[in-house]
């Protein structure tokens, strides 16, 4: 099945669904409270229909999301910063081979793992990002080092790898990133450049957004990119304003999808601008932004959190691995399918 066919299948099957159905519903009692802290995560989007995943895979994905939520929530409960929380959550997802980031990254056409990541602090509007790194175990921590320990925002490839070593970040040999499933996807791609498409996880990226007890927001995103990518391709994940954005009092956003379209629509910044300039609610802004991406032919999803900690999940695929937790609803809640109600 070609990527274009998958897109047509996705949009056709999704046509009858409201984008707002993708929201993780918060129990009524919790919704009445303004959370002191809040966290949402995602693990990528795909053409997910019920029954596509085995029960074991379903359980494993939810466990991975729960672990990330718990890591971030631990920081926030203790009064830690939203920046620390999103980094902690994303590191957990990077270490999980189920997700296309860090350990589970896909392979390029040349058989390499090239990793992208970005992080942004809503309090200061400082940001850091890396693209095409090959040796850093947790690229999100390297992105944070770029933000805090360099005068730059984005470093790429050999220079980013060297900066990582200079900063003393944990390095990993290339075989650390190897997983059998990802390698098989590359071999299939080499035979048929559409065969590697896994409809249950077509757009592999991980991300987190958070509000801390001081009212600051932050966003973080990490990815291995696309199987068979060439020529140093870079998607939206490390592009501030496209795949990652945060501004205090407004929102924080992390996106996943066909990155070229999210770049063209300035998707992450667009969500925040809709809230700040048009007075849209966070879910309304997320849905409208995804509609703009759909209009130009893009697929995927995004997570957002507003200045008061309300989380929203927008998508135009049949699913997105996602979860949320907050002081108002302190039990991790996860969902996979677009029409799936949040666990209560």
Look up 244 and say whether it is catalytic: no
The answer to whether the annotation marks 258 as part of a ligand binding site is yes
The answer to whether the annotation marks 256 as part of a ligand binding site is yes
Q: d(Cα 128, Cα 150) in Å, to the nearest integer?
A: 9
The answer to whether the annotation marks 235 as part of a ligand binding site is yes
Token pair recorded at residue 208:
């987190």
The distance from CA 110 to its chain's CA centroid, rounded to whole angstroms, is 25
The answer to whether the annotation marks 10 as part of a ligand binding site is no
Query: How many Cβ atoms are within 10 Å of 6's Cβ, its own excluded?
Result: 18
The answer to whether the annotation marks 264 as part of a ligand binding site is no
The answer to whether the annotation marks 331 as part of a ligand binding site is no
The answer to whether the annotation marks 111 as part of a ligand binding site is no
The answer to whether the annotation marks 239 as part of a ligand binding site is no
- Catalytic residue from among 108, 136, 205, 334: 205
Annotated binding-site members for substrate? 233-236, 256-259
Active site residues: 205
Q: Annotated binding site: which residue ranges?
A: 233-236, 256-259
């Amino acid at each position: 099945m070609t990527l274009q066919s998958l897109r047509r299948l996705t949009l056709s099957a999704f046509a009858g669904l409201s984008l707002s159905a993708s929201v993780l519903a918060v129990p009524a009692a919790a919704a009445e409270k303004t959370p002191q802290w809040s966290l949402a995560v995602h693990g990528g989007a795909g053409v997910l229909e019920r029954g596509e995943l085995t029960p074991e895979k379903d359980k494993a994905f939810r466990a991975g999301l729960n672990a990330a939520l718990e890591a971030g929530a631990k920081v926030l409960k203790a009064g830690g910063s939203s920046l620390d929380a999103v980094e902690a959550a994303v590191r957990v997802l990077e270490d999980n081979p189920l997700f296309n980031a860090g350990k589970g990254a896909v392979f390029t056409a040349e058989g390499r793992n090239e990793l992208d990541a970005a992080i942004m602090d809503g309090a200061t509007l400082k940001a850091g990002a890396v693209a095409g790194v090959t040796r850093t175990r947790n690229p999100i921590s390297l992105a944070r080092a770029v933000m805090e320990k360099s005068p730059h925002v984005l470093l790429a490839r050999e220079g980013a790898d060297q900066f990582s070593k200079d900063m003393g970040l944990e390095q990993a040999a290339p075989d650390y990133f190897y997983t059998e499933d990802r390698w098989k996807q590359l071999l299939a791609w080499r035979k048929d450049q559409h065969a590697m498409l896994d409809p249950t996880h077509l757009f592999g990226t991980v991300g987190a957004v958070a509000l801390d007890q001081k009212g600051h927001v932050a966003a973080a995103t990490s990815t291995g990119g696309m199987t068979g990518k060439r020529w140093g391709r870079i998607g939206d994940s490390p592009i501030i304003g496209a795949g990652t954005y945060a501004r205090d009092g407004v929102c924080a956003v992390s996106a996943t999808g066909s990155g070229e379209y999210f770049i063209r629509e300035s998707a992450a910044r667009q969500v925040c601008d809709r809230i700040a300039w048009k007075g849209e609610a966070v879910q309304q802004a997320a849905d409208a932004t995804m509609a703009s991406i759909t209009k130009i032919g893009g697929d995927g999803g995004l997570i957002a959190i507003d200045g008061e900690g309300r989380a929203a999940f927008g998508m135009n695929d049949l699913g997105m691995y996602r979860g949320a937790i907050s002081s108002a609803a302190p039990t991790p809640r996860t969902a996979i399918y677009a029409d799936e109600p949040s666990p209560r």
